[in-house]
Amino acid sequence: MSSRLYVGNLSYTTTVETLRAFFATVGEVRSAEIVTDRATNRSKGFGFVEMSTPEAAQQAMQQLNGKFLDNRPVRIDLARPKEPRPASERTASQRPATPPPAHTPGARAHQPGRAQVAPTRSNQTRAPERKQRRPARRRLREEETPRWLQNKRLLLSELDEEF
């Protein structure tokens, strides 16, 4: 039996020190870690604790499972070994480094994690097209002016006369 435990339903404010102290009431703690998001450095709400012996781990599971830590009931299970992820799920930093291909005129620059496309007529860079000018707006004739705009103009002209 393993002495590594999964601890779930942790509060986002729980620290490694409070997690270690929580498990120290049952037995000696070898290590404690809280899994955090790399981008935000915020807790993901779970962590792992390694007890000194498998018996201490079993005792911690029995005594502490469902107990409250930082106002949340924690869930404790035996930690499963990390399973290797398939190559398609790897992040860009975990992919093997490949040298960028030789530059071909009209081809896009190499971007890691993006498949290279052979240059064809459809994806080659083209000369920029001239921007078409929008026709100038003309003033509406009185009969084309919407009714609400006519009323607004009438009100504004009446206000100007008063002052």
DSSP conformation letters of 32-52: EEEEE-TTT--EEEEEEEEES
Q: For residue 58, what pLDDT is reported?
A: 94
| 8 Å CB contact between 16 and 34 | yes
Q: For residue 119, what pLDDT is reported?
A: 59
Q: For residue 136, what pLDDT is reported?
A: 74
Q: How confident is the model at residue 138 (pLDDT cuts 50, 70, 90)?
A: confident
Joined together, the tokens standing for residue 82 give 């990390």
77-121 confidence digits (pLDDT tens): 999 888 887 766 656 556 566 655 555 555 555 556 665 656 565
Sequence-ordered list of residues with C-beta below 8 angstroms from that of 18, at least 6 positions apart, any chain: 69, 70
26-77 confidence digits (pLDDT tens): 999 999 999 999 999 999 999 999 999 999 999 999 999 999 999 999 999 9
Joined together, the tokens standing for residue 79 give 């930690």
Superfamily of domain 4-78: RRM (RNA recognition motif) domain (3.30.70.330)
**Structural domain boundaries of the chain?**
4-78
Joined together, the tokens standing for residue 13 give 């404010």
Largest CA distance in the chain: 94
